[in-house]
Structures are given as structure tokens and as C-alpha cells.
């Protein structure tokens, strides 16, 4: 038994460590009792989750309010600093103006012209214009769905359905998916 199950048994049944390995579900009544305990546990978690999510939402609202206040204050001071920046002598480079202060720097990136493009529209144009074909990239991808349709698993071998040949190629193998027990309530 895994630790989670042992902890649950301890919690719900208040069974001592030396007794927990002895307890077993031996009839439908005990199995049904277990299902009731699962249902109760899930209901309690749902209640707890609902309260926690409501609390999280409250905290997020407070945080949003604080963020708005912070943004307003920062915007106000940045606006005042920009006004001041326009009155002082700045260090100028090709792309930037800056003014140094003991607590930081004021910077203004100079305007520039850049490309504004839509890859989908450019692709359409390139497909129609033979002079632009060399700008089209082709992505290679293995067609697993079609390949898989021709395969079958027989024992521990992979077989081509059409030819009956056993297929042994790099990148293709078998793996076992373990049993998975579930309980529905």
C-alpha cells in the first residue's frame, strides 16, 4: 500500500500502525462504506477549495487596487520627470538621450523607422511571385498518423499490416502502459 492510502486509513479509521496492514475490505458493505468515505472526502475538499478560491479572489482584488494606485503614482512621477528631462542638457548617442542622476538615469530612445509586416500576407505574395519563392521556408514533419495506420502490434513485435513483415527501425518501439485502477463515485 502506498503512503497516501496508509495515511487515509489512519485518519479515517484511527488504526494503529501494526493493525493497518491487517484491515481489508472483505464484503460489499465495507466496500460501499469506503465509497461513502471517498465521496465525503471529495465533498470536504470541494468545500475547502471553494472557500480558498473565494479568498484568493478577494486577495487578487486588493492586489489589483494596489497595482492601479501604484501605476497612477508611477505614471504621475514619470510624466513630471519627462517634463524635467526636456529642460536639461542630455548625453546624446545615435539612438538615445540620457541624463544621469545619483539615484538613476532618465533615458529617451530616439524615434526610428522599423518594418511593420504580416508573415501570412508576405507568404501569400511569395507563393504567387516566383522571384520571392526562395524566401519560403518548408517545415519537414513525420506523418505519424498515416504511418501508424499501417502498423499492428502482435505479441512483442510491430508488424506492417500490408506485408506482414516485422518492422525493426530506429525511433520506433513498444512500451507497456501499466494497469490503472480507478474508483468512480
For residues 84 and 150, membership in a common domain is answered with no
On whether both 17 and 89 belong to a single domain, the answer is: yes
pLDDT band at 1 (very low <50, low <70, confident <90, very high): very low
| 15 part of a folded domain | yes
Strand partners, 90: none
Average pLDDT of span 67-96: 94
**Where would I find the H helices in the chain?**
3-13, 17-20, 28-85, 119-128, 144-149
Asked if residue 83 has pLDDT above 80, the reply is yes
What pLDDT is stored for residue 114 in this prediction?
83
Answer whether residue 166 is part of any domain: no
Q: Is residue 88 domain-shared with residue 144, that is, in the same domain?
A: no
pLDDT at 59: 98
* pLDDT tens, residue by residue, 110-168: 898 888 999 999 999 999 988 888 899 988 899 999 999 999 999 999 999 999 999 99
Q: Are strands 96-101 and 151-154 parallel, antiparallel or unpaired?
A: unpaired
User: How many domains is the chain partitioned into structurally?
Assistant: 2
pLDDT recorded at residue 130? 86
pLDDT, position 4? 58
180 occurs within a structural domain: no
pTM for the whole structure: 0.51
Among residues 41, 38, 42, 2, the alpha carbon closest in space to that of 20 is found at 2
Reduce the DSSP state of residue 106 to 3 states and report it: strand
Domain that holds residue 144: 119-160
Amino acid at each position: 500500500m502506498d503512503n497516501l492510502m496508509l495515511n487515509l486509513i489512519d485518519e479515517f479509521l484511527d488504526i494503529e500502525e501494526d493493525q493497518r496492514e491487517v484491515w481489508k475490505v472483505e464484503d460489499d458493505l465495507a466496500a460501499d462504506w469506503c465509497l461513502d468515505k471517498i465521496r465525503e472526502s471529495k465533498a470536504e475538499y470541494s468545500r475547502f477549495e471553494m472557500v480558498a478560491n473565494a479568498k484568493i479572489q478577494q486577495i487578487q482584488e486588493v492586489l489589483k487596487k494596489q497595482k492601479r494606485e501604484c501605476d497612477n503614482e508611477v505614471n504621475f512621477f514619470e510624466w513630471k520627470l519627462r517634463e524635467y528631462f526636456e529642460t536639461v542638457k542630455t548625453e546624446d548617442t545615435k539612438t538615445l538621450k540620457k541624463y544621469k542622476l545619483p539615484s538613476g538615469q532618465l533615458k529617451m530612445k530616439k524615434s526610428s523607422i522599423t518594418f511593420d509586416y504580416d508573415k501570412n500576407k508576405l507568404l501569400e505574395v511569395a507563393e504567387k511571385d516566383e522571384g520571392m519563392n526562395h524566401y519560403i521556408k518548408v517545415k519537414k514533419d513525420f506523418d505519424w498518423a498515416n504511418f501508424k495506420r499501417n502498423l499492428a502490434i502482435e505479441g512483442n513485435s510491430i508488424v506492417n499490416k500490408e506485408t506482414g513483415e516485422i518492422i525493426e527501425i530506429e525511433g520506433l518501439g513498444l512500451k507497456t502502459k501499466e494497469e490503472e485502477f480507478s474508483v468512480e463515485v
